Amino acid sequence: MKYEFTEQSQGVFNFSQADQFVALAHAHNITKIRCHNLIWHNELPNWINNGNWTNATLLPVMLNHIEQLILHFGDTCLHWDVVNEALSDSPTATNPWAANVWYNAIGPYYVALAFQKAAQVVEDNNLSVKLFYNDYNIEWPGAKTTNAAILVSNLTAAGIRIDGVGLQSHFEIGGTPPIATSLAVQQTYTNQNNSLGVPIICALTELDIRATSLPVSDAQQIQQFNDYRTGKIYLIELLSGQY
């Protein structure tokens, strides 16, 4: 569903590969599908990466892409990752954003404009899709997590709909957060004041716990098993309070 595959030429959309995954899910009675993603700075087609863009030229391209994907998949998508990985890993006191083609041409408000457009399409077409911000390294307390919470707060304070935060959860063996830490961080998102009255939910979107060296020892495999079990317990607790 990423940009590189769905809009390889400007204004020409091809959903054939994404539709294969949807059909496979439906064939196995899987109806809850997360759709990933509408706007990201990676896996873009060459015409985006190599374009000489300005705000005036790139913004309508971005908005049209969002509209066409949401309309095509409709309520097939339980969640849409509207914007993926917009926050910097090394933010400054005045700038939390990662530099990319969207930020450079449109400015930092591209995130808000993307959510605004997604919400408009969902609401105009009476869809039940939930709209998410998705990122990594926002599962622990820290500057990036703080900025993700501020993003949620700022969007809702401006009356722009955001329904949830996706936690990519890329961890290392022996380096997963304790359950109490995970739940506390989740609450930094779910406790944000939502002026729209829509509760903010969290999802574990890309959970993996990788080895940092090979071959993997028996002790590492046992630790990895325990780390996944801890994550399962966290997920059960999270889901019990949010769905």
Q: Which of 85, 123, 139, 237 is catalytic?
A: 85
**Beta strand pairing status for 201-204 and 208-210?**
unpaired
CA atoms within 13 A on the CB side of 76: 18
* Burial of 37 from C-beta contacts in 10 A (0-12 / 13-18 / 19+): buried
Write out pLDDT tens, residues 201-238.
Answer: 999 899 899 999 999 999 999 999 999 887 766 666 66
40-94 pLDDT, tens digit each:
999 999 999 999 999 999 999 999 999 999 999 999 999 999 999 999 999 999 9
Catalytic residue among 4, 67, 206, 237: 206
Q: Rounded distance, CA 129 to CA 35, Å?
A: 10
- Is 85 assigned a catalytic role? yes
The model scores a pTM over 0.95: no
**DSSP notation for 90-121:** S--SS--BPP-HHHHHH-TTHHHHHHHHHHHH
Distance CA 106, CA 62 (A): 10
